[in-house]
Amino acid sequence: MSLLLIAKNRDMKPWKEALLEVDPNLDVEIWPRVENKERVTFAVSWNHPEKVLSNYPNLKVISSLGAGVDHVFNDSTLLDSVQITRVVIPSLKEQMAEYVLNAIQNYRFNTSKYVDQKREGFWSSHDAIPKSDSIVGVMGLGEMGKAVVDTLHDNRYSVVGWSRSEKQLHGIKTYSGKQLVDFLAQTNILVCLLPLTKETEGILDLELFKKLKKPAYLINVARGSHLIEEDLIYALDIRVLDGASLDVFEEEPLPSNHLFWNRPKIMITPHIASITDPKEAAKVIIENYKRSLSGMELLFEVKREIGY
């Protein structure tokens, strides 16, 4: 049996080296050079080309390279019998929590304004937004969301949370399901960490922004398809939002002629909020690979019916 690494436009050699460092006896192949497709039972993927995995008749499990799995569901040819898992490791959660905290601090202390002023050689001070007026609302309370909530709580921020199903988290008030409006009414700084599903696609729109407590700011570190880009531009123009920090986009890399580049109130980073470390992830991948061979329950398995 063999394990397949497959990703478009990504060097998978470091991943193979990391896996073999943990277990030198593994049979690891890197797409597209696969000697024996019949031997592949487990695939590790990031944005694999659609229909490619249908060429592996004995494929049992596909693991996302990271915490997101929407790219796996984009493949309509994937058989229902194939189990789907994701990689959730401490460093991913820590990176995400630190990124969100940094984005909030940059907003509160007007960092982007000072960067622009430095470039122009202009001296002027701006009042920081008090922490007491910065109520952070986290949408999505999975592994990443919980890590963000804990970090913000440890840094003495007031935090509320919303998720599809009811969650109980220490020290914060949580909302669920149809309580979204109540959650938004409490929120100044909105953090999107939702999984991308049919229900959450396009959820960040003008009507949602209007329901936020003012002044309002958006941080999207989930998926670009959560956001209606035109609505964000309009919300900034009519001052429904003070600004936004975006790490994910509908099209990546973000085209050079995209309107976001010319908007000083939009902070842009190139999908770097949380990057999977091959050496740390290798242990989780190998554990799931061996569990699959033994017919055991998999770690971080995705429920197809809800999409995460």
271 is catalytic: yes
Contact (CB, 8 A) for 266 and 116: no
Active-site choice (108, 263, 271, 304): 271
Which two tokens mark 112? 């982007």
Eight-class DSSP state of 90: H
Q: What are phi and psi of 98, to 5 degrees?
A: -70, -40
pLDDT in tens, 83-109: 999 999 999 999 999 999 999 999 999
**CA nearest neighbour of 138 among 149, 147, 154:** 149
Report pLDDT for 308: 86
223 is catalytic: yes
pLDDT in tens, 29-79: 999 999 999 999 999 999 999 899 999 999 999 999 988 899 999 898 989
pLDDT in tens, 192-233: 999 999 999 999 999 999 999 999 999 999 999 999 999 999
pLDDT (average), residues 255-280: 97
User: For the chain, which domains are there?
Assistant: 2-89+276-294 (3.40.50.720), 90-268 (3.40.50.720)
C-alpha to C-alpha distance for 92 and 236, rounded to whole angstroms = 31
Query: Sign of the C-alpha dihedral, residues 254, 257, 258, 264?
Result: positive
Active-site choice (86, 164, 223, 226): 223
Helices (H), the chain: 13-22, 70-73, 90-108, 111-120, 143-154, 180-185, 206-210, 229-237, 278-294
Contact (CB, 8 A) for 300 and 284: yes
